[in-house]
Amino acid sequence: MMTTRQFSLRPESDLVLWCARTAVTDALKERIRQKVQEPLDWGVVLDLAGYHGVGPLLYRHLSTLCSDLVPAESLTQLRQRTQAGALLNRVLAQELVVLCEAFAAHGVPVMPIKGATLAVSAYGDLTLRDFSDMDLLVPKGSIAEAQAVLLAHGYERNDPSTELAEADHEEGPYHVFIKRRTLFRVDLQWVMAHQHFRFQLDRPEFWQRRTPVPLANKTVQGLAPEDLLIVLCVHGSKHAWEMLKWVCDVAELLRTHDHLDWNLVFSSASTWRCRRLVLMGLSLAHQLLDVPLPKAVLARLSADSDVQMFSHRMPCTLLADRRVGVSESQAVAFYFSLKDSWWERWRLGLMLCRDQSPMVTTPPAWFCWRASLQRLARLVLPFHRAMRSLVPSRIRGPINRWVEHSG
């Protein structure tokens, strides 16, 4: 059922949103056919689809439902992009299988996350989800062995400082490897991190519950659906759901696995302190992409006013007025607002005040904690300055690390 939005979308965004799913209802098919007959900026449609990583889904529905109504040049561009992406996906999937077999042969635990395995397990089709690299979860204690396997297969360590885009990526403490003379890129990951954001990926539960995923006529190990759902919701929230593709990931996983163990999902999310980030992903999938959810889950969403408020503000670039949205540059304020507990929220607040974050002095208009955070800053900053002048750095360091990683 279509939901009423608090903030309107651009006409082009409506079309992209309605096509950003593997299957559409008869009612939605008619909406799509009507929309393409309205005045649309097709350059904007293609740009939105490309930016949000949903070009293959858009092409699937436009080409089957209304190819006669779409400008031929636009449909051709979309088809060419989709075909190129599908070819890259297949090549990456084959390489991923080779690497997983190599890791297994050397006794190095590895588990692909997102990318090819997500396309297969959630979308049911390797070509329907854009991806350009291979994210590999490895135990933190096996990083050296994993690097050795990659080096033996022609990969070399990428130096982020040599590439501006890479330096600005800030995905956290992982190792990036590029295979010489190819498009293959591998990200070895054990934690998902950003400025003031950290979520552990190397968890015993992930390894214990892993499940086989068929890929390129072979089988690799992937995250269990319940764990994958949590990782997808945390990842999207980390980036303030800047890309529609990340909402699609959650939506398609839920459609494909309609018998999830919801008790396990919420007990794990609570233990890992990301319960409200999971609610955020579920709310967006429901509000934007009409994913049905159990009544008990809908009740949890309805009870969280912050989640409801944010659900109408993202993805920011789809809104008719981007100024009312939540952009990725405001991500710190976003996940400050969605901390699971009072202690976690104000521990982050202490760090923001200590670092004199712009979020304290110039917070977004929608940020309801601005006055409280500014009062905290007036208390913390004099204390912090005094501590810097009186306490040796060898003592300040451990205190700062305790504040950042405790709780």
Three-state SS for 9? Answer: strand
> What's the rounded Cα separation, in Å, for the pair 327 and 314?
8
Quote the tokens at residue 135: 């994210």
Place of tokens 């070009």: 55
**Distance separating the N- and C-terminal Cα atoms of the chain:** 40
> What's the rounded Cα separation, in Å, for the pair 48 and 45?
5
> What's the rounded Cα separation, in Å, for the pair 281 and 192?
16
Write the CB contacts of 310 (distance below 8 Å, at least 6 apart in sequence).
280, 283, 326, 334, 337, 338
**What phi, psi does 152 have (nearest 5°)?**
-70, -20
Q: What is the pLDDT of residue 160?
A: 55
Neighbours of 90 (CB within 10 A): 14
> What's the rounded Cα separation, in Å, for the pair 323 and 365?
9
* C-alpha distance from residue 186 to each of 96, 133, 363 (Å): 9, 6, 36
Q: How many CA atoms lie within 13 A of 220 on its CB side?
A: 30
The predicted-structure confidence for 207-248, as pLDDT tens digits, reads as follows: 999 999 999 899 999 999 999 999 999 999 999 999 999 999
Q: What is the pLDDT of residue 196?
A: 83
Q: Where do the H-state alpha helices sit in 66-142?
A: 72-105, 115-118
Q: Contact 312/287 with Cβ under 8 angstroms?
A: yes
- Is 3.30.460.40 the CATH number for 91-198? yes
The predicted-structure confidence for 345-374, as pLDDT tens digits, reads as follows: 988 998 898 888 888 989 999 999 999 998
Place of tokens 């590999």: 136
> What's the rounded Cα separation, in Å, for the pair 92 and 215?
11
Identify the DSSP state of 119: I
Q: What is the pLDDT of residue 193?
A: 86
> What's the rounded Cα separation, in Å, for the pair 169 and 163?
10
> What's the rounded Cα separation, in Å, for the pair 10 and 37?
15
Helix (H) or strand (E) holding 213: strand 211-215
Q: Contact 234/274 with Cβ under 8 angstroms?
A: yes
Burial of 217 (0-12, 13-18, 19+ CB in 10 A): exposed
In the chain, where are the structural domains located?
91-198, 341-405
Residue ranges of the chain with pLDDT lower than 50? 1-2, 161-171, 396, 406-407
> What's the rounded Cα separation, in Å, for the pair 103 and 88?
22
Q: What is the pLDDT of residue 381?
A: 73
Q: Which long-range contacts (CB under 8 A, 24 or more apart) does 354-359 make?
A: 354/380, 354/381, 354/384, 354/400, 356/381, 357/196, 357/332, 359/330, 359/332, 359/333
DSSP string, 312-339: TS-SGGGBSSGGGS--GGGHHHHHHHT-
For residue 11, is the peptide bond before it cis, meaning its omega torsion is within 30 degrees of 0? no
> What's the rounded Cα separation, in Å, for the pair 10 and 317?
9
Q: Contact 241/250 with Cβ under 8 angstroms?
A: no
Q: What is the pLDDT of residue 321?
A: 95
